[in-house]
Amino acid sequence: MIHFLLTPNLLPMHLAFSVATLISLSFFCTTVVMINRERLKQTFVELCEIESPSRKEGEVAWYITKVFRDELGHEVVTDDSSQETGSETGNLVVRIEGTNGDTLAPLLFNAHMDTVGPTEGVKVLFEDGIFRTDGTTILGGDDKAAIAILMEVARCLKEQDGQLLPPLEFLFTVCEEIGLLGAKALDASILRARAGYALDTTGTFNLINRAPCAIRFSVKVHGKSAHAGIAPEKGINAISLAARAISKVPLGRIDPETTANIGIIRGGKATNIVPDLVEIEGEVRSHSEDRLKKVQDQVLAPFHQLQWDFDPKGEGPVVQVDVIDDYPVLNVPEDHRLVTTAREAAASMGRELKVETTGGGSDANILCGKGIDTVILGIGMENVHTTDEHIALSDMVECARFILEIISKWGLR
């Protein structure tokens, strides 16, 4: 609900408003949010200029704790995931108490603390309303824009009195960029919320409700070394064996929902040695768990066949295959409360929410797999994972307003 303060000196005396009129007007106006643009700008710059590649998130965790606990007085909990991830810190959970006890369902917002490289000596440039760097490093808007936005949201909530506020949890994870390791190591029982938004994609006023599940595979093809010039007959060329199998592997876009890729091949020691080992790494993704399994089998079948053709008696490990479940599917229906709330919040701001599907994985996939329904919101960052990464302050401001509106709508349900 939106509250307006109308005092006599602000209205001409000849205008008369009934209480009923004011109440009806309040239903059709978006929340008037006093986003402090300069504060948001300064926070974002400070965050970006902290180097935090994966496993080196300690200083960002300290900054987050300083703002949420020391400045705003909220509870900050650090889990013990660092024992599993190898990070300087665990995942952080910030708890903001609701204004109506436990009658409202808690709501989660998620961002990650780590960035890709290069990160050494990040200096943020701000020109014509756009944040970027000089091109020698990444900016780090992925995902520090999300952290800065959530800090501004928390500060705005602190400054607004009388608003119906659901319990909130902000989850800041480590090691997202190197395999979603922080989210995977998270003990979900420390979270009270069972639904939330991950702030981690490009664009604005867009929501991703579908993302694929994925597996990663590694294959070792063993041959036999020999001198390539003197006695090649005594060798078994592992590269040749691997190439034979790879030529039969389905790759690329398999169907509208499924992709497969081989991304890494390692092998050989010198041009005069018949190579005795080739290592292959790849992945399969699909929006369908059944299709994922079927395509996984199709991708690996040529390697298993290679094993059988070369060593039908099973007298030696010619081929070794290892498969890892990378992340589960994200599939939140459009009539879910997360989607309808975001759609209503966007509409109240005069915007239309775009509901989209992605081919990538994120912390949201892991959270869904742990029983926490999660969708992904765009925060305006562009050209992420490149040194041309940039983001507009105006988009960050709109995102902060959007999140405050989502929180308001959630509190009214």
176 is catalytic: yes
- Given 152, 176, 283, 382, the catalytic residue: 176
To which residue do tokens 């925060």 refer? Answer: 379
Q: What is the pLDDT of residue 9?
A: 37
Q: What is the pLDDT of residue 32?
A: 56
Q: Which CATH number fits domain 36-211+329-412: 3.40.630.10, 3.40.50.10610, 3.40.50.1100, 3.40.1190.10?
A: 3.40.630.10
Q: What is the pLDDT of residue 12?
A: 39
Cα 156 to chain centroid distance, Å, stands at: 24
Q: What is the pLDDT of residue 27?
A: 34
Q: Are strands 195-202 and 107-112 parallel, antiparallel or unpaired?
A: parallel
114 is catalytic: yes
CA distance linking residue 135 with residue 186, whole number of Å: 34
Asked whether the beta carbons of 400 and 35 are under 8 A apart, the reply is yes
- For residue 198 the two structure tokens come to 């991950």
Q: What is the pLDDT of residue 162?
A: 62
Residues in the chain: 413
Domain range annotation of the chain: 36-211+329-412, 217-326
Q: What is the pLDDT along the chain (413 residues), one digit of tens a residue?
A: 333 333 333 333 333 333 333 333 333 344 455 899 999 999 999 999 999 999 999 999 999 999 999 999 999 999 999 999 999 999 999 999 998 766 789 999 999 999 999 999 999 999 999 999 999 999 999 999 999 999 999 999 999 866 779 999 999 999 999 999 999 999 999 999 999 999 999 999 999 999 999 999 999 999 999 999 999 999 999 999 999 999 999 999 999 999 999 999 999 999 999 999 999 999 999 999 999 999 999 999 999 998 888 766 666 668 999 999 999 999 999 999 999 999 999 999 999 999 999 999 999 999 999 999 999 999 999 999 999 999 999 999 999 999 999 999 997 76
Domain 217-326 sits in CATH at 3.30.70.360
- Given 51, 57, 79, 114, the catalytic residue: 114
For 86, phi then psi, to 5°, come to: 80, 10
Q: Taking the model in full, what pTM does it have?
A: 0.88
Q: What is the pLDDT of residue 318?
A: 87
